[in-house]
């Protein structure tokens, strides 16, 4: 595989859920032709949206693997042993198999794949759909630096792409993967607070969405620590410090930390379940 021109790569997807669609949208945004992608799923439920953007669809996982340079395994964790057993005879040493299944370890993937297979574990998040994802990946034992370069290049249209040790993947799942839903919950509550104080619902939700977007972009682009930006919004005796005091009394900080911890622990539990399924 040549990492110099990702537009020539053939990309297969096993699974057609939100994660697969988000990655596909990000890849397509980076001038990879839709004709280079193929996605498989057992039913037509999620395939239509892929067809609408020009991606070929099939009900055969083997067909999605054959001829692909990179294959994304985007199924639920307990299904990974099933689908990899199905395509085992079609996987070649020249392909890169990228799993986005929460909790499924590289060791498990490598045991489920042919001996010389290149396995990568990737955790994206849903904002890949709008090219603002946060993605972290770890390389398997057979992967080389060229595979890292290629994957970064292929996924750069999805958002921020970073590489790290596998121990961080489950943490990233709990923080950036599940964290998207945590942010939505906060945005919903922010809007509901405005509605309670008399603002029309549609306007309240629109302003809450823009507030979350603007705060996120400022946090990312300024390079400042969140605490520093927070302090810049506060003025002595002003509205913000009163509101922050209320949030702290409600335990929002502790609850958020606990939420990330719970989601991370669950990702690890899913990994143990997938390993058990593999042995059975």
Show binding-site residues for NADPH.
Answer: 61
Listing DSSP states for 43-56 in one string gives: SSTTHHHHHHTT-E
Nearest Cα residue to 265 out of 175, 182, 180: 175
Using DSSP bridges, classify how beta strands 70-73 and 11-14 pair: parallel, antiparallel or unpaired. Answer: parallel
Locate all alpha helices (DSSP H) within 17-133, ordered by sequence: 18-29, 47-52, 61-65, 80-87, 106-112
9 in Cβ contact with 1 (< 8 Å): yes
CA pseudo-torsion sign 21, 24, 30, 34: negative
114 in Cβ contact with 93 (< 8 Å): yes
Give the annotated binding-site residues for NADP(+): 14-19, 74-77
Q: How far is CA 196 from CA 64, 201, 258, 269, 277, in A?
A: 50, 9, 28, 40, 49
Residue carrying the six token digits 């629109």: 206
Give the annotated binding-site residues: 14-19, 61, 74-77
Please write down the HEC assignment for all residues of 174-242: HHHHCHHHHHHHHHHHHHHHHHHCCCCHHHHHHHHHHHHHHHHHHHHHHCCCHHHHHHHHCCCCCHHHH
110 in Cβ contact with 119 (< 8 Å): yes
């Amino acid at each position: 595989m040549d990492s110099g021109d990702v537009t020539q790569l053939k990309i297969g997807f096993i699974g057609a859920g939100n994660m697969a669609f988000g990655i596909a949208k990000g890849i397509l945004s980076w001038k990879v032709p839709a004709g280079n992608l193929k996605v498989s799923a057992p039913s037509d439920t999620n395939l239509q949206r892929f067809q609408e953007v020009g991606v070929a669809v099939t009900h055969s996982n083997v067909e999605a693997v054959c001829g692909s340079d990179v294959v994304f395994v985007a199924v639920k964790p307990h299904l990974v042993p099933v689908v990899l057993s199905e395509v085992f005879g079609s996987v070649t040493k020249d392909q890169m198999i990228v799993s986005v299944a929460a909790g499924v370890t590289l060791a498990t993937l490598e045991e489920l794949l042919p001996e010389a297979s290149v396995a990568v574990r990737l955790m994206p998040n849903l904002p890949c759909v709008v090219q603002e994802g946060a993605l972290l990946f770890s390389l398997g034992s057979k992967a080389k630096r060229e595979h890292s370069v290629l994957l970064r290049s292929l996924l750069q249209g999805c958002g921020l792409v970073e590489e790290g040790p596998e121990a961080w993947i489950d943490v990233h799942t709990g923080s950036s993967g599940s964290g998207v839903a945590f942010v939505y919950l906060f945005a919903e509550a922010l809007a509901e607070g405005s509605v309670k104080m008399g603002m029309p619902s549609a306007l309240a939700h629109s302003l809450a969405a823009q507030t979350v977007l603007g705060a996120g972009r400022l946090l990312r682009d300024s390079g400042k620590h969140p605490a520093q930006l927070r302090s810049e919004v506060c003025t002595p005796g002003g509205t913000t410090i009163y509101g922050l005091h209320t949030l702290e009394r409600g335990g929002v900080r502790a609850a958020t930390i606990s939420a990330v911890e719970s989601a991370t622990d669950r990702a690890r539990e899913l990994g143990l379940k997938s390993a058990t399924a593999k042995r059975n």
